[in-house]
Amino acid sequence: MAMAIRRSCPGAEVRLWARRESVVNMVKQREMADLASTDLSSVICGADLIILETPVGTMGELARCVLGDGGVGPACVVTDVGSVKEPVMRMFAEVF
């Protein structure tokens, strides 16, 4: 997704968060993002759009981290690319 966004929206700043440093290093090596980090705060601060691309079962917890961090503005759109919608929407409704 990051590579597709970079290709179709060349002016967009793409930032990626990963749990593991090895993934961050791969993202940097392949130049897939302007910023890649294991520090969620640095990645989401000031974001206009956050796309969660994690297993569905972890999206609720990650959404709580995103909201709890305080770096997300009221106009920021948070969405996901999970395989199902109803469970994710329930998790998001509890958080947002």
State pLDDT tens for residues 59-72. Answer: 888 888 888 866 68
* Mean pLDDT of all residues belonging to the chain: 89
* Helix count and strand count (H, E) for the chain: 5, 4
- The pTM of this model reads 0.83
- The radius of gyration of the chain's CA atoms, rounded to the nearest angstrom, is 13
For residue 76, count CB atoms less than 10 angstroms from its CB and return exposed for 0-12, middle for 13-18, buried for 19 or more. Answer: middle
45: alpha, beta or left? (left if phi > 0; alpha if psi -120 to 50): beta
